[in-house]
């Protein structure tokens, strides 16, 4: 599609000279996503600085039926932030002010373009803790985190963005600014409207700011890498540690040996902290607000797990540097997997107890479709969320492997659905899974989603073609 020059001129005027670029070189990095799976195009990138500017932009887009795609840090993994049809790109990156940190009220108000690491650091400086933690910390933004309902490695203890949001400020398709920026912990005055926009991937409104929960800084944190013989033992270890610590686990990440080997081979300054190789590992972390020998409790639980054969060894971090080194092993897996050729990835969730069955049947099903495909399933076992990834067979052809994407996905998603799971645990729907959700959600649920979209965005200007089609 092409957008009339007169409309482009009005949009530029709405944000002023600092607020846009038409330079293809400047726009280019915003048109391709992290895995280079989606390549978009756009004649204009708007970079508003204020909420009224966003409002003015949407008034013009709505009046002229001009489609627009909101973008935060461009770390989304399902293509939602990419203007695939030549839409105007709306980058929230200049709205990067932390409006308020309230250490006593345990809340922060951050604009949509605030980078996650910036918010974590600001909370830390106020002796507080913002627990959302993703490998994309240094680039992803509050607005993107909310719009994708981001999860990450601390969901087990603190929940995902739906749980971490107290309120939002959102601009509707017609430019109306809705101030839902409440910092209340309780508010039973009807529909919880903010939740409509959280996880909506920019299809119902543009989030311009959010009130987010902060927590006391953990006084004690214990991190350990446990070697485990099989996935059923991982589920056993999770439950044992949760019981021993009274539910203080903040992370429980599954890592297969193949993923560790990829990290050790491709990522500098990494080393295996354990003496002997093991088929599986769990990177576990427990946090408490007060010091009460949490380390002793975790160590004892790990010793008893080793005695009972559900773990074979464990390395407990002795320092912050050792903790960082353990987490580097986990956080580098996606990067390391890139060095091993093409991969087919699924971000899925099943009930935690069903994970061993899911992995056994899922690996078998995928290898029936692509014999030799190398399973690299890892991630948030504690949340039932596995990144069920496969690398191209050793010495195999990338293009031939990727050509089987649909068949592999069908086998995986059918299994996930059959086990009562979700085909998108935390990355969202975007364009990648738009047709998939129609396959697996009920007709009534899809129709309700479409009705909401039609009501809030009757001209279909907000991120058209993503998440749900009307
Ligand atoms: C290495 C790596 C690791 C990752 N690990 C995790 C993980 O553990 N857990 C997890 O959940 N995700 C993970 N992700 C995915 C990604 O980081 C998250 O989805 C993140 O929340 C996206 O934020 P963003 O600012 O980059 O949003 P973008 O990618 O820019 O946008 C994502 C979606 O939100 C919409 N959007 C963005 N800003 C706004 C706004 N202000 N208003 C309305 N809509 C908006 C976009 O249109 C798009 O649909 C990972 C990504 C990478 C590259």
What average pLDDT does the segment 431-443 reach? 96
The DSSP element (H or E) to which 434 belongs, if any, is: helix 434-440
- Helix orientation angle between 355-369 and 231-245, rounded to the nearest 10 degrees: 150
How many angstroms separate the alpha carbon of residue 74 from the centre of ligand 1?
7
How many angstroms separate the alpha carbon of residue 150 from the centre of ligand 1?
7
Q: Which atom of ligand 1 is nearest to the CA of 34?
A: 53
How many angstroms separate the alpha carbon of residue 138 from the centre of ligand 1?
12
Predicted local confidence at residue 199, as pLDDT: 98
Predicted local confidence at residue 356, as pLDDT: 97
Predicted local confidence at residue 250, as pLDDT: 96
119-171 confidence digits (pLDDT tens): 999 999 999 999 999 999 999 999 999 999 999 999 999 999 999 999 999 99
25-42 confidence digits (pLDDT tens): 999 999 999 888 899 999
Query: Which residue's C-alpha comes closest to atom 50 of ligand 1?
Result: 136
Residue 202: pLDDT band by 50, 70, 90 thresholds? very high
Question: To test ligand 1's pocket by mutation, which of 55, 81, 263, 330 has the most ligand atoms within 8 angstroms of CB?
Answer: 81
Query: Which residue's C-alpha comes closest to atom 27 of ligand 1?
Result: 144
Report the predicted TM-score, pTM, of the whole model to 2 decimal places.
Answer: 0.91
The 8-class DSSP code of residue 133 comes to B
How many angstroms separate the alpha carbon of residue 33 from the centre of ligand 1?
10
Nearest to 346 by CA among 329, 369, 363, 327: 363
How many angstroms separate the alpha carbon of residue 458 from the centre of ligand 1?
25
Residue 330's Cβ-side half-sphere holds a number of Cα atoms within 13 Å equal to 31
Residue 430: pLDDT band by 50, 70, 90 thresholds? very high
Query: Which residue's C-alpha comes closest to atom 41 of ligand 1?
Result: 143
Residue 196: pLDDT band by 50, 70, 90 thresholds? very high
Question: To test ligand 1's pocket by mutation, which of 137, 150, 152 has the most ligand atoms within 8 angstroms of CB?
Answer: 150
Predicted local confidence at residue 365, as pLDDT: 98
Q: Which atom of ligand 1 is nearest to the CA of 69?
A: 47
Q: Coil, strand or helix: which one is 291?
A: coil
Nearest to 66 by CA among 417, 464, 354, 469: 464
Question: To test ligand 1's pocket by mutation, which of 30, 85, 115, 144 has the most ligand atoms within 8 angstroms of CB?
Answer: 144
Q: Write out 338-389 in H/E/C secondary structure.
A: HCCCCEECCEEECCHHHHHHHHHHHHHHHHHHCCCCEEEEEECHHHCEEEEE
Q: Coil, strand or helix: which one is 238?
A: helix
Residue 190: pLDDT band by 50, 70, 90 thresholds? confident
The DSSP element (H or E) to which 157 belongs, if any, is: helix 155-158
d(CA 170, CA 231): 42
Q: Please, what is the average pLDDT of the chain?
A: 96
244-299 confidence digits (pLDDT tens): 999 999 999 999 999 999 999 999 999 999 999 999 999 999 999 888 889 999 99
Is 5-91 assigned to CATH 3.30.70.100?
Answer: no
C-beta neighbour count of 118 within 10 angstroms: 18
d(CA 323, CA 309): 25
| Topology match between the domains 5-91 and 98-216 | no
What average pLDDT does the segment 373-384 reach? 96
Predicted local confidence at residue 188, as pLDDT: 84
Query: Which residue's C-alpha comes closest to atom 8 of ligand 1?
Result: 152
Is 341-428 assigned to CATH 3.40.50.620?
Answer: no
d(CA 392, CA 401): 6
The DSSP element (H or E) to which 324 belongs, if any, is: helix 320-331
Query: 185-194, 313-322, 413-422: which range is least confident on average?
Result: 185-194
b/e sequence 370-385, b meaning 16+ C-beta within 10 Å: beebbbbbbbbbbbbb
b/e sequence 88-112, b meaning 16+ C-beta within 10 Å: bbbbbbbbbebeebeeeebbbbbbb
What average pLDDT does the segment 223-252 reach? 97
Looking at CATH, the fold of the domain delimited by 98-216 is given as 3.30.465
Predicted local confidence at residue 1, as pLDDT: 73
Looking at CATH, the fold of the domain delimited by 220-331 is given as Alpha-Beta Plaits (3.30.70)
- Helix orientation angle between 294-307 and 231-245, rounded to the nearest 10 degrees: 140
Kindly give, in sequence order, each residue whose CB lies less than 8 Å from that of residue 363, ignoring residues fewer than 6 positions away: 375, 377
Domain spans in the chain, listed from the N-terminal domain onward = 5-91, 98-216, 220-331, 341-428
Residues with CB under 6 A from ligand 1: 34, 69-77, 80-81, 92, 112, 134-136, 140-141, 143-145, 147-148, 150-152, 201-202, 206-207, 334, 426-427, 430, 463, 466
How many angstroms separate the alpha carbon of residue 426 from the centre of ligand 1?
10
Percentage of the chain beyond pLDDT 90 is: 95
How many angstroms separate the alpha carbon of residue 81 from the centre of ligand 1?
8
Predicted local confidence at residue 338, as pLDDT: 94
Query: Which residue's C-alpha comes closest to atom 52 of ligand 1?
Result: 136
Q: Coil, strand or helix: which one is 52?
A: helix
Predicted local confidence at residue 340, as pLDDT: 96
Edge-to-edge strand list for the sheet holding 107-111: 98-102, 107-111, 206-213, 165-171, 177-180
Pairing of strands 68-71, 88-91: parallel
């Amino acid at each position: 599609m092409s957008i009339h020059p007169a409309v482009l001129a009005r949009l530029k005027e709405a944000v002023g000279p600092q607020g846009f670029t038409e330079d293809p070189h400047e726009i280019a990095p915003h048109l391709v996503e992290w895995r280079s799976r989606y390549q978009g195009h756009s004649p204009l990138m708007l970079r508003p600085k204020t909420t009224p500017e966003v409002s003015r932009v949407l008034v013009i887009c709505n009046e002229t039926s001009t489609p627009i795609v909101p973008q935060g840090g461009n770390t989304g993994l399902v293509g939602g932030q990419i203007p695939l049809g030549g839409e105007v790109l709306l980058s929230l990156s200049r709205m990067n002010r932390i409006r308020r940190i309230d250490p006593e009220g345990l809340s922060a108000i951050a604009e949509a373009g605030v980078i996650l690491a910036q918010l974590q650091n600001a909370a830390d400086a106020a002796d507080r803790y913002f627990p959302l933690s993703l490998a994309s910390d240094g680039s992803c933004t509050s607005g993107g985190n909310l719009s994708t309902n981001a999860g990450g490695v601390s969901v087990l203890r603190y929940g995902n963005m739906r749980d971490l949001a107290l309120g939002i400020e959102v601009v509707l398709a017609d430019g109306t600014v809705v101030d839902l920026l409440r910092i209340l912990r309780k508010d039973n005055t009807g529909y919880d409207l903010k939740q409509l926009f959280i996880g909506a991937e920019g299809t119902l409104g543009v989030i311009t700011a959010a009130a987010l929960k902060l927590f006391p800084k953990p006084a004690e944190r214990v991190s350990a890498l446990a070697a485990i013989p099989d996935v059923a033992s991982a589920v056993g270890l999770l439950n044992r540690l949760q019981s021993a610590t009274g539910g203080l686990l903040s992370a429980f990440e599954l890592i297969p040996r193949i993923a560790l080997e990829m990290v050790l081979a491709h990522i500098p300054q990494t080393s295996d902290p354990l003496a002997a190789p093991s088929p599986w590992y769990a990177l576990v972390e427990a946090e408490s607000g007060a010091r009460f020998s949490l380390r002793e409790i975790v160590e004892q639980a790990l010793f008893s797990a080793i005695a009972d054969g559900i773990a074979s060894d464990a390395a407990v971090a002795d320092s912050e540097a050792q903790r960082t080194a353990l987490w580097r092993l986990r956080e580098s897996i996606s990067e390391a997997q890139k060095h091993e050729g093409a991969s087919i990835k699924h971000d899925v969730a099943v009930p935690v107890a069903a994970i061993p069955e899911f992995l056994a049947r899922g690996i078998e099903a995928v290898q029936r479709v692509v014999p030799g495909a190398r399973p690299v399933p890892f991630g948030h076992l504690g949340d039932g969320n596995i990144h069920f990834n496969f690398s191209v067979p050793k010495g195999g052809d990338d293009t031939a492997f990727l050509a089987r994407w649909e068949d592999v996905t069908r086998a995986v998603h059918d299994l996930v659905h059959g086990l009562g799971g979700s085909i998108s645990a935390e990355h969202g729907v975007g364009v990648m899974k738009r047709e998939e959700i129609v396959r697996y959600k009920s007709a009534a649920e899809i129709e309700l989603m479409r009705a909401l979209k039609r009501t809030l965005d009757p001209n279909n200007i907000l991120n058209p073609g993503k998440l749900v089609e009307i």
